[in-house]
Structure 1
Amino acid sequence: MKSLSLKRKLRSLYIVTASGIGAYVAISLYKNNEKFYRNVVMPLVHLLEPEQAHRLGILVSKYRLVPKTSYIDPDSLKITLFGKEFKNPIGIAAGFDKHAEAVMGLRDIGFGFIEVGSVTPEPQSGNDKPRLFRLSEDFAVINRYGFNSDGHQTVLQRLVNLRQAKKCDSIIGVNLGKNKTSTDAINDYVIGIKKLGPVADYLVINVSSPNTPGLRTMQDKNVLKSLLKSAKDTRDSLPDGSRPPLLLKLAPDLSYSELKDIANVVRQKETKIDGLIICNTTIERPQFLHNDNRTETGGLSGKPLKDSSTKLIAEMYKLTRGEIPIIGVGGVFTGRDAYEKITAGASVVQLYTSLVYEGPPVVAKIKRELAQLLADDGYMSISEAVGSNVK
């Protein structure tokens, strides 16, 4: 009888303990507890191979399994850009939702805008696996995906469905790439503008990925002139109401003379664009990297890119005389990181790698910290702070 009684007690203890743990986990997930995600959820996710974890993140967002954020964006975080009002200046960078599958879930966790892609004209599988690597000690990632894409037609249909559902009020940008085997790179971007322009709030001409052979050479001033003129002419030929702003995404590995050449091109009348995204991943490997994966080929993103990205934003802000809006990206983990990019000249910012390490709550955390920094410095809005540290 004593043995039976002990078994019952142990069973009851197990049920109570399991129930308590289950309740704690459920409440922590529901409340988007930052520490719980950082210390429990994301380390568990990281038991998966990086690309498997990425795919899991897409599926979770696609089926909207993460509770909607309870954070309410203050008016100070609103900004008008490209003729549209952004509810807040924190966006998800291209590379996460490559195929426009996860837009609504990303909206739920608080992103002010969502950039999908890169999208290529024809479907392509990208580079061989493995092609995604975590550098956990460095809070960084190296990828060499190589523009794996479902192609224009599939992404177009997904975006059309979103627009027709009238449930998505998010600002959606589409990042355009070229097919690896294309013999006419400029035409790949022209096709993308024609196809996806009518469903995009802005389009990005991505010639800065390090993972497609020859792509970065399109940042050369002469090639860039031809590309941007064709892109502008194509955009301007679209029907009224279907002419999205055109942005150019730059690499962080450009020399100052190359930056000057690009600034000159993007300010000329025939090739003037509506915005810059600064910057893409880097092929440089800072000496302070610790993780063994630092030797992998591909583009490095995350905290190691933070300072060089912010410096590049300030340089291009000065070179373009503040005439061309900038989306800042690279190593944004905190509100202070975002604020530094804004005061360096970015109007809005994007993140990706911090989501890998801290999970969905990082979005609200950054917004909350950013709003406080604005208030501390006496700014009533984001727009007042843009470029305020550039001399």
Structure 2
Amino acid sequence: NNLGVDHLVAQVKASSANTLIGINIGKNFDTPVEKAVDDYLISMDKVYEHADYITINISSPNTPGLRTLQFGESLDNLLASLKTRQAELAKQHQKYVPMAVKVAPDLSHEEVDELARAFNKHQIDAVIATNTTMDRSKVSGLDNADEVGGLSGGPVFEKSTEIVRLFRSKLSQELPIIAAGGIMSADDAIEKLDAGAALVQIYSGLIYQGPSLVRHIIQAIYKRN
């Protein structure tokens, strides 16, 4: 659904924005899962010097087989390969760019345990919880409820917040969680932080509330602290 990593890099290089840039990478739609590591490494090579952090997306529900990378030997091989390449690129470019792994909201407690062990083992820099959900229970009976693809916004809030809470109880305390999923108000953001997140990301909230939502969240965080 985009023009590819080379186009993205060109856009970033042309930008004059003075802000932190996170770049989300994943496997191509038609790349077999067993070849997925190659796609991640190619993308990491291309974006590394232009990013302030890199999101390792292993949880998009729109890419066939992608979520299988969240488990077992596939997960271990991917993380080991990425950490090795991260160290090589850090030396090459003389800067360390953190990696944040983005997980799904549709995880069991056992799956969270497995992921947390892998993240601790490989010293992943951060976790983004979560991506969109495949669960349609919150929109059952509504128009377009059965459309294909991940569901974002308010319906994913409870599931994603619970995943934040579960990961916080399993991860090293030095490993930050970036909460995403259904943050439509300042109160929603505070609830994510109370669940154990260190940072929050918003997208659907910007569409429905506008940029002022960012200011409201910042003000609420100041009051909370």
- The bucket for the TM-score relative to the shorter chain is over 0.9
Q: Does 1:191 align with 2:32?
A: no
Instruction: State the SS of the aligned residue for 1:300.
Output: coil
Q: What is the match of residue 113 of structure 2? A: 260
Q: What is the match of residue 168 of structure 1? A: 17
**Relative to structure 1, is the Cα distance of residues 290 and 352 closer, same or farther in structure 2, using a 3 angstrom cutoff?**
farther
- Greater helix content: 2
RMSD: 1.5
AA partner of residue 204 (structure 2): T
Instruction: State the SS of the aligned residue for 2:136.
Output: coil
Matched ranges for 1:301-316 at <5 A: 301-316=152-167
After TM superposition, the runs of 4+ consecutive aligned structure 1 residues lying more than 4 A away are: 287-290
Cα distance per residue 1:89-134 (max 9 Å; x no partner):
xxxxxxxxxxxxxxxxxxxxxxxxxxxxxxxxxxxxxxxxxxxxxx
Q: Does 1:369 align with 2:212?
A: no
Give the Cα–Cα distance (whole angstroms) in 1 for the partners of residues 9 and 153 of structure 2. 30
Instruction: State the SS of the aligned residue for 1:204.
Output: strand
Say whether the 8 Å CA contact 1:336–1:370 is kept in structure 2: no
Say whether the 8 Å CA contact 1:253–1:283 is kept in structure 2: yes
Matched ranges for 1:1-391 at <5 A: 148-162=1-15, 167-183=16-32, 184-238=35-89, 239-268=92-121, 271-287=122-138, 289=140, 291-372=142-223, 374=224, 379=225
Q: Give the TM-score, by structure 2 length.
A: 0.92
Q: CA deviation at 1:212?
A: 0.7
AA partner of residue 100 (structure 2): L
Instruction: State the SS of the aligned residue for 1:258.
Output: helix
Give the Cα–Cα distance (whole angstroms) in 2 for the partners of residues 356 and 203 of structure 1. 24
Give the Cα–Cα distance (whole angstroms) in 1 for the partners of residues 31 and 140 of structure 2. 35
Structure with higher Rg: it is 1
Identity in percent: 38
Q: CA deviation at 1:221?
A: 2.4
Cα distance per residue 1:57-82 (max 9 Å; x no partner):
xxxxxxxxxxxxxxxxxxxxxxxxxx
Cα distance per residue 1:147-181 (max 9 Å; x no partner):
x121111111221223xxxx432111000011112
AA partner of residue 25 (structure 2): L
Unmatched 5+ residue regions in structure 1?
A: 1-147, 380-391
Give the Cα–Cα distance (whole angstroms) in 1 for the partners of residues 10 and 206 of structure 2. 27
Give the Cα–Cα distance (whole angstroms) in 1 for the partners of residues 14 and 87 of structure 2. 25
Paired residues, what number? Answer: 221
Unmatched 5+ residue regions in structure 2?
A: none
AA partner of residue 249 (structure 1): K
Q: CA deviation at 1:362?
A: 2.3
Pick 1 or 2: higher relative contact order, CA cutoff 8 A, min separation 6: 1
Q: CA deviation at 1:293?
A: 1.4
Q: CA deviation at 1:332?
A: 0.6
Say whether the 8 Å CA contact 2:183–2:189 is kept in structure 1: yes
AA partner of residue 8 (structure 2): V
